[in-house]
Amino acid sequence: MSDPITVPKAELHCHIEGAAPPTLVKSLAEQYSIDVSSVLDGNGKYIWSDFTTFLKAYDVASSVFKTPADYSLLSEAYFRMLAAEGAIYGEIFISPDHAQAAGLSYRSYVEGLAAGIERAKTDTAIEGRMIAIGVRHFGSASVERVAKEVIGNPHPMVTGFGLAGDERSGHPANFSKAFRMASDAGLGTTAHAGEFGGPESIIAALEFLRVKRIGHGVRAIEDKELVKRLVDEQIVLEVCPGSNISLGVYSVLRFHPLNMLRREGVKITLNSDDPPFFGTTLGKEYVSVSETFGWSLEDQVEITQTAIEAAFCDDATKNRLLVRLDSVLQNPGTS
């Protein structure tokens, strides 16, 4: 097994609020006198038991981030941690609805996050972008509001638009207007589907949202025709194995379909989703998947290359990252 640090990594699917270290949530909660005891236990671990209670815990954890400085602390810590694991690129999902609920305007939310990403980049050279998400279970009006806000306040680091939240609520057709607006504005688009919904949910996201990337998408394995379509249309799956195991989508990693999907020719990437909630990190995902499915260094590098090629950043940045990926491989230990 190759040294995990020497494998250059890239991440496309991580919710920044879901990446909040429990210690940071606890200290901000104390500072603002917010009670987070329902979602953080005495050992500093998040408390949840299923997808619904996970989403609620995520809401409570998000509520302690009240200022741009709070958010810059969070993004800086996250990107530094990613870089320390060998990542050269990361996209984070940002949730303007959660920032607004905590009293922050969209602009100050994005500026705070951007400042933290820039600080991490100065020291580690990691490159970062943001994908603003609408929350599916908040309904189509709220998702359209997010799309309008993102388009009306362009920021060079906000390069994508996405749909997260409870896939069991609301049909993708309800969100097609928001996605059309986002694509027309030049944003890359992605939607969570095929996590708690079956293949039909993925098909509906492709049809109604016209996305080229799918968050999770792993339940495509249940429909041979759909797998063929993903291959033919070169749809990229943002696979989050540790999240799927923690949330009970699959019982153990060995039964996860990611390797079968890859062998069928589907483009897949590895991601941590909401790392401290699921006891994972991007580095752990690369290691556990590689150990379970016997992946070589070349297999892992191909995953990173797929992520960079599918990234929502400009071509010049992609090319620089691909050169960097290559140079790390030529000179291991110099990332």
Place of tokens 């309008």: 148
Which residues lie across from 9 on neighbouring strands?
Answer: 87
Q: Does 144 bind ligand ADE (CB under 6 A)?
A: no
Q: Which amino acid is at 199?
A: P
Among 243, 246, 280, 304, binds ligand ADE (CB under 6 A): 243
Q: Does 164 bind ligand ADE (CB under 6 A)?
A: yes
Q: Where are the alpha helices (DSSP H) in 39-185?
A: 51-62, 68-84, 96-101, 106-124, 140-152, 176-184
Q: Which residues bind Zn ion (CB under 5 A)?
A: 273
CB 125 within 8 A of CB 323: no
Q: How far is the CB of 321 from Zn ion (least distance, A)?
A: 22
Q: Does 15 bind ligand ADE (CB under 6 A)?
A: yes
Residue 91 annotated as catalytic = no
Interface map 257-276 toward ligand ADE (x if CB under 6 A)? ----------------xx--
Dist. CA 101–CA 107, nearest whole Å: 14
Residue 165, contacted partner among ligand ADE, Zn ion, none, CB below 5-8 A by kind:
ligand ADE
Q: Does 195 bind ligand ADE (CB under 6 A)?
A: yes
Catalytic residue among 85, 195, 238, 285: 195
Dihedral of CA 53/58/64/67: which sign?
A: negative
**278 vs 286, which CB is nearer to Zn ion?**
278
Question: How many residues sit in the footprint of ligand ADE (CB under 6 A)?
Answer: 10
Q: How far is the CB of 234 from ligand ADE (least distance, A)?
A: 23
Interface map 281-310 toward ligand ADE (x if CB under 6 A)? ------------------------------
Is 2 strand, coil or helix? coil
Burial 56-79, CB ≥16 within 10 A → b, else e = ebbbbbbbbbbbbebbbbbbbbbb
Question: 212 — phi, psi (to 5°)?
Answer: -105, -10
What are the residue numbers of the active site? 195
Q: Which residues bind ligand ADE (CB under 6 A)?
A: 15, 18, 58, 164-165, 192, 195, 243, 273-274
